[in-house]
């Protein structure tokens, strides 16, 4: 296949590596190859690009954006608008998140996920709750928290029957290890979060097939030397751990320790936990409360954090600035590792991708845009 032109940025991030002196070969507005610049034939059209070329970010925890909350308006149109809003911040794909609510709301969110199956950049659904710890619920509705039940089992089965990527966040104390194993066999990605579980309870859930942790540290008990709890179980495991990198949900010094401590470096990834204020107004209604942005924090009437007011771009910027993380590793955490969790490693590559899936940015990610 003939290459029509070459894009030559200062750096290209693809398949987990940040490289210099590479160019992307373009045919029919799609990247079809990467080549060292020195090997490009003389006379070929080479378009120089300032900064970094990389795939758009992948965000596996998006509650809302652009003034819309998925729980409150569980439709394809809402998911499109959430994705469109975050697109402006460099995010290609999102996992819309349904937080703890009634069975009816969960059913509606699942139906919307099925209806959005063929929507570009809508990658499935994340169900966060309702099977969580009342003690560690955060801003989740106490009235709707319940043990794992047949209603959720039926909804998960329907999602998987339609081949929808489905992630569920549960507390080990709200579900048995046998039930976790059954969900894993169904093809559900089980993550642990909003939990007061002990170390042993958490390890039993991992042994049963739980593969991830939702916003590590948040809505979990602190580490105590004789009662280390779920965080230590997470760091000593091979499970994927989502992190909110705003420095508000978790202190930067704690994040630095966690990044060094995990038994498998490439299992730590970023999520935004975005709410409607990202690209939207500075407040929104959640359950029966109004959530406000105060000093970059989203808080409810009780003063609890209620999601985050950031995008994946913010996570990348702050990782480099405050966490001593290389740009390559920050991009892995915002692109490649989330793509791996989805079982779609191709989303972490620039090769065989339309230009509209790719972003260019200066090396600080202040100026960012999709190529089309």
pLDDT-derived band of residue 106, with 50, 70 and 90 as boundaries? very high
Q: Quick one: average pLDDT of 58-86?
A: 98
DSSP letter (8 states) at residue 273: -
Residue 358 has pLDDT above 90, yes or no: yes
Cα atoms found within 13 Å of the Cα of residue 295, Cβ hemisphere only: 5
**First and final C-alpha spacing in the chain:** 22
Model pLDDT, residue 28 = 95
Q: Model confidence over 38-61: pLDDT tens digits?
A: 999 888 999 999 999 999 999 999
What pTM was computed for the model? 0.96
Domain residue spans of the chain: 5-55+351-370, 57-325
What does the chain come to in residues? 372
The fourth-level CATH superfamily of domain 5-55+351-370 is: Urease, subunit C, domain 1 (2.30.40.10)
Of the listed ranges 53-57, 71-75, 77-81, 304-308, the least confidently predicted one is 304-308
Q: Quick one: average pLDDT of 73-90?
A: 98
Q: Model confidence over 266-294: pLDDT tens digits?
A: 999 999 999 999 999 999 999 988 999 98
Q: Which residue has the tokens 């928290």?
A: 145
Say if 5-55+351-370 and 57-325 have the same CATH topology. no
DSSP letter (8 states) at residue 265: G
Model pLDDT, residue 265 = 87
Concerning whether 207 is annotated as a catalytic residue, the answer is no
Model pLDDT, residue 12 = 98
Mean pLDDT (the chain) is: 96
By the 8 A CB rule, do 247 and 216 touch? no
The fourth-level CATH superfamily of domain 57-325 is: Metal-dependent hydrolases (3.20.20.140)
Of residues 144, 273, 329, 357, which has the active-site annotation? Answer: 273
Which parts of 310-352 fold into alpha helices (H)? 312-322, 327-331, 337-342
Q: Is 12 helix (H, G, I), strand (E, B) or coil?
A: strand
Model pLDDT, residue 91 = 98
297-299 sheet: strands from edge to edge: 283-286, 289-294, 297-299
């Amino acid at each position: 296949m003939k290459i029509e032109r070459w894009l030559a940025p200062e750096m290209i991030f693809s398949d987990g590596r940040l490289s210099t002196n590479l160019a992307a070969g373009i045919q029919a507005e799609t990247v079809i190859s990467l080549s060292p610049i020195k090997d490009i034939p003389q006379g070929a059209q080479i378009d120089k690009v300032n900064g970094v070329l990389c795939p758009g970010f992948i965000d596996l925890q998006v509650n809302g954006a652009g003034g819309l909350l998925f729980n409150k308006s569980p439709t394809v149109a809402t998911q499109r608008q959430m994705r469109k809003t975050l697109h402006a911040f460099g995010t290609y794909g999102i996992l819309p998140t349904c937080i703890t609510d009634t069975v009816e709301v969960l059913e509606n969110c699942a139906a919307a996920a099925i209806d959005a199956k063929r929507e570009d950049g809508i990658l499935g659904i994340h169900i966060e709750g309702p099977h969580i710890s009342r003690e560690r619920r955060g801003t989740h509705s106490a009235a709707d928290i319940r043990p794992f039940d047949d209603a959720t089992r039926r909804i998960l089965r329907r999602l998987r029957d339609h081949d929808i990527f489905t992630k569920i966040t549960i507390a080990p104390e709200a579900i048995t290890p046998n039930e976790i194993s059954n969900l894993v066999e169904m093809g559900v990605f089980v993550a642990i979060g909003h939990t007061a579980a002990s170390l042993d309870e958490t390890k039993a859930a991992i042994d049963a097939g739980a593969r991830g942790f939702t916003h590590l540290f948040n809505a979990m008990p602190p580490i105590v030397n004789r009662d280390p709890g779920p965080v230590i179980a997470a760091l000593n495991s091979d499970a994927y751990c989502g992190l909110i990198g705003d420095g508000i949900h978790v202190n930067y010094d704690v994040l630095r320790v966690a990044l060094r401590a995990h038994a498998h470096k490439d299992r730590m990834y970023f999520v935004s936990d975005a709410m409607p204020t990202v690209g939207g107004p500075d407040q929104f209604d959640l359950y029966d409360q109004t959530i406000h942005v105060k000093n970059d924090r989203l808080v409810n009437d009780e003063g609890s954090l209620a999601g985050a007011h950031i995008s994946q771009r913010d996570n990348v910027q702050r990782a480099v600035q405050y966490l001593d993380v290389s740009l390559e590793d920050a991009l892995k955490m915002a692109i490649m590792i989330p793509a791996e969790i989805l079982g779609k490693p191709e989303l972490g590559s620039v090769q065989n991708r339309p230009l509209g899936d790719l972003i260019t940015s200066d090396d600080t990610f202040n100026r960012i845009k999709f190529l089309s």
